[in-house]
Amino acid sequence: MNFASARQRALPFALLLTLVGCATVPPPRGVDYRAPSPASSAPPTAQIATPAAPQREWRAAGAGQDASFERSNLLTDTFYKNADALAQQVEKSGAMGVNRGWEAASRKGGDWFIEEQRFADTVIGAGVNRNRVDMIDAGLRALEWGFQQQSPDGSFPCKENYLSASYFVAAAAHSIWLLETTGYARDFSGRIGFIKPKLQSAARWLADRQNIDAARAQQDAHSSRYLLTGYALAASGRVLADPALALAGEDMVSVGLSKQHPSGYFPERGGFDVSFQAEALVYLLRFHDHAATAETRRNIEPALRSALAWLESRTNATGVIQIAGNTRSGFGQERDRTGQPRRVSAVAVSRAFGLARFVLNEAKYEALARTVANARQPA
């Protein structure tokens, strides 16, 4: 693997995040609708091995500073400020987002997306941050709802199921890692034990060669997806003690990094997009923090810093995000799962900077995170 080319029924979720302490106007629920692929001019994509007996050693390194971030005053002051509002986003059944309406309609007509259940990770994070066991319970209920929809082959029978499953698997793996790292897993061991085999089945479906090949064109057009799916696989490998999954995730991350533009951004639809750059960084930072080997951490750090520098260059001194040139958000280019035009996600930008402060131990990123979180972004 060569990393040397790495340089190259309730409030809408958007309103919710405003209520929990961010003065920005973050994007509505839903992260990704299919976008047209750009003209094919990308270099051949590196090969990603279907999990099998590992041919190389894998041992996760890193200090797990993401757990410190989740418990930080930065998140207490911003996105986890109104914890009750977050908890209310989970139905008693566990459904979240647009899945609430789908379930309320007795599942007749309309669409559901397993990715909507990924917000369980936010609810669990807030529970850890605020020492709220009831919120952790709610977040686990949302994950359980998601896995109850799972097909026997590990997939989820919704539209765009590869992308949607990637989001959900990443959230489930991160939630389990966070609970185990912070000691809260002891109180929920039975429920986590229920989730883990289902998580493994979902992750193995993501890592299956046939499914990777079917998703490749969309992954190539949106390079952030390689980092998303790579983290989903690697983090699953970490919490499941499955080196084959972890290495498949490492290879997927490598492909995403190989697509990085020399200026630092990860291409989206033939250009750049601040929202998806930030999202990619969150997954890459998490991978670096607790799902990568020591060697991989060293190899990817230059790309990580370059990507952060590019994101910083798109944020002015008052924390307002510069969106000119975005290919996917801010100008009605795409619609989210609610059918609304996709807005630029100041939440994702702030979170990327905040996570970088802990993972890279650089104070300047906390200042950036707070400035973006407290800025009034243009509509």
Q: Output the pTM of the full model.
A: 0.87
Half-sphere exposure of 161 (CA within 13 A, CB side): 16
Q: Could you tell me the domains of the chain? A: 4-34+53-374 (1.50.10)
- Measured distance CA(251)–CA(56) in Å, rounded: 12
Output DSSP code: residue 334.
-
Angstrom distances, CA of residue 114 to CA of 35, 103, 262: 19, 13, 34
Angstrom distances, CA of residue 29 to CA of 16, 46, 97, 99, 156: 10, 32, 7, 11, 19
Q: Which amino acid is at 12?
A: P
Instruction: Please list the pLDDT of the chain residue by residue as tens digits (379 residues).
Output: 444 444 444 334 433 443 333 333 333 333 333 333 333 334 444 455 555 555 677 888 888 999 999 999 999 999 999 999 999 999 999 999 999 999 988 776 789 999 999 999 999 999 999 999 999 999 999 999 999 999 999 999 999 999 999 999 999 999 999 999 999 999 999 999 999 999 999 999 999 999 999 999 999 999 999 999 999 999 999 999 999 999 999 999 999 999 999 999 999 999 999 999 999 999 999 999 999 999 999 999 999 999 999 999 999 999 999 999 999 998 889 888 888 899 999 999 999 999 999 999 999 999 999 999 999 987 7
Angstrom distances, CA of residue 163 to CA of 166, 248, 288, 310: 5, 16, 21, 25
Q: Tokens representing 133? A: 């066991």
